[in-house]
Structure 1
Amino acid sequence: MSELRILQFDDLDGAVAETRELLRSGYTRQGNWSLGQICRHLILVQDPSVDGYPKWMSLFAFMRPVMRRLLLPKVLSDDSPRGIRTASMFVPPAEVDDAAEVERFVASVERFHAHAGDYAPHPAFGQQSREMIERIHTCHAAHHLRFLQPAETSTGGI
C-alpha cells in the first residue's frame, strides 16, 4: 500500500468539503472502504452524539479516564491508529451509493451543528465540550478519508 494522505480539517465542514471533492474527482481506495462506506460509518458514529449511545456502551465507563489519557491523544493526532476493530453497529454495509451517502453525511453534520445543548457522553472519553466532540469527529473523519486518494491530481509545470 502506498503512503496515506495526511488530512487535517478545522471542523466537520472541512470533512464535508472533502467528501464532496472526492465524489467529484473520483478516488482510488487505499483501504477497505469506499467513500460511501466511510460516510455511512462516520454517520453511524456521529449521530449518537446527538441521539445518545446504547446503554451497553457505558458498561466500561470506569475506564474513561484511562482512555482519555492514552487513546484520545492518538485519536487527535495526524496519524491515528489503524486496524482497530469497530463495534458491528458501526460497520457500514458492503454496497452503498457514494453520492447518496455523501448527502446523508452532509445532513448528519448539519444536524450535529444544529443540536442545542450538550452532546451525549462519548463511550470512550465521557462527557466532553461541544468543541472537543466536534474535534473528535473531525479527526475521525480525517483518519478514514485519508485512505482515499483523489483520482485527479495537479501535475503542475508547463
Structure 2
Amino acid sequence: MSELRSLQFETLDSAVDDARQLLVAGYVRHGNWSLGQICRHLVLVQDPSIDGYPIWMSLFAPLRPLMRRWLLPKVLAPDSPRGIRTAPMFVPPDSLDDAAEVEAFSASVERLINHSGEFAPHPAFGRMPRDKILAIHTAHAAHHLRFLCSGNATD
C-alpha cells in the first residue's frame, strides 16, 4: 500500500479544516473510500455519541474493560490499525457528493462540540468523559483522512 499521510489533529475542527483543504486542492485516494465516503462514515459514527447507539451494540458491554485497556490506546495512536471491519450501518454508500458530505461532517462536528449533555456510552469503550469522546472522534477522523493525500502534494 502507498505511504499514508502522518496525520494527527488537536481538535475535530482541525479535521474539518483538513477535509475542506482536500476538497479545494483535490486528492489522491490511498484507500477504499472517497472524501465524501469518509466524511459520511465519520458522521455516522459521531452522531450516535449524542443520539445513542442501537441497543444491539450494548451486547458488547461485558468486553468494555478489555477494550478500554487493549483497543483504546491503539485507536488514539497516530498509526491506528488498518482493516478493522465496521458494522454495516457505518459503511457509506459508493456515490456521494464530496462537498455536501464535508459540510455534513462540519455540522456533525459543530453539534458534538456544542453538546452540553452527557454522551451516549461508546459501544466498545462505555461511558467516557467529554474530552475522551472528542479525542476518540478526533483520532478516528485522522485515521480515515490520512488515506487521502492532497492532489497538489508530493507525499
User: Helix, strand or coil for the counterpart of 1:8?
Assistant: coil
Q: Does 1:115 align with 2:123?
A: no
Q: 1:113 Cα deviation (Å)?
A: 1.2
Q: How far apart are residue 153 of structure 1 and its match?
A: 2.5
* SS across alignment from 1:60: helix
SS at match of 1:31: coil
Pairwise mapping of residues 34-113 of structure 1 onto structure 2 (< 5 A)? 34-113=34-113
Name the aligned partner's letter for residue 77 of structure 2. Answer: S
Please name the residue that 1:7 is paired with: 7
Identity among equivalent pairs (%): 69
Secondary structure in 2 matching 1:28: strand
Structural RMSD (CA): 1.1
The aligned amino acid for 2:18 is E
Deviations 1:69-113, CA, capped at 9 Å, x for gaps = 000000000110100100000000000000000000000011111
Count of aligned pairs: 155
Deviation of 1:2 after TM superposition, in Å, equals 1.6
The residue type paired with residue 53 of structure 1 is Y
Structure 2's unaligned 5+ residue stretches are none
**Stretches of 4+ aligned residues off by more than 2 angstroms:** none
- The structure whose Rg is larger is 1
SS where residue 59 of structure 1 aligns? helix
Write the distance in 2 (CA, Å) between the matches of 1:60 and 1:154. Answer: 43
1:114-153 correspondence to structure 2 within 5 Å: 114-153=114-153
| Gap runs ≥5 in structure 1 | none
**In 2, distance between residues paired with 1:82 and 1:16?**
21
SS at the partner of 2:77? coil
